[in-house]
Structure 1
Amino acid sequence: MPDCVGRLRAALEANGITLPSLGVDLPTFAGGWSTPLVALGNCNAETAQRLTEALVRAAIR
């Protein structure tokens, strides 16, 4: 799971996007869930817009 978060962080950074709260959701990780959750966290409107633009570009390809 931490590897997944690291790859996501790197992909976002490659698009100039930083989600400060990105990480593994510790209660689900420690709680023995079969698939722990990834906490994307909060971001400001500018970051949300940049994320949206990156996703739209990727979907068009």
Structure 2
Amino acid sequence: MTATDRRRAAAGRVRLAEDAVERLREGLAGVGVKLPSLRIDPVSCAGNEPSPLVDLGCCNLDTARRLSEALEEKAAGHDR
């Protein structure tokens, strides 16, 4: 694999992570949850072959409760 191929592959991984963050942000907003720290971890994108990680970040108790309620409601809907 050439250096150019490795750079393209790395850029592709970062784009996938950006897409995942955006999809999470939109999905969470759809159930009334906002994670203010949701982002790609910049350190995981460093180096020649980054392995991007999605950082869900910190949230307050109210946000954590709303998130867990949304997940429970979604799970209950699939049990029917």
Provide TM-score, normalisation by structure 2: 0.69
Root mean square deviation of aligned Cα: 1.1
Unaligned 5+ segments in structure 2 are 1-16
CA distance in 2, matches of 1:57, 1:47: 15
Corresponding pairs, count = 60
Aligned to 2:70: 54
Provide TM-score, normalisation by structure 1: 0.89
Question: Runs ≥4 in structure 1, deviation > 4 angstroms?
Answer: none
Unaligned 5+ segments in structure 1 are none
* Greater Rg over alpha carbons, structure: 2
More helix by share: 2
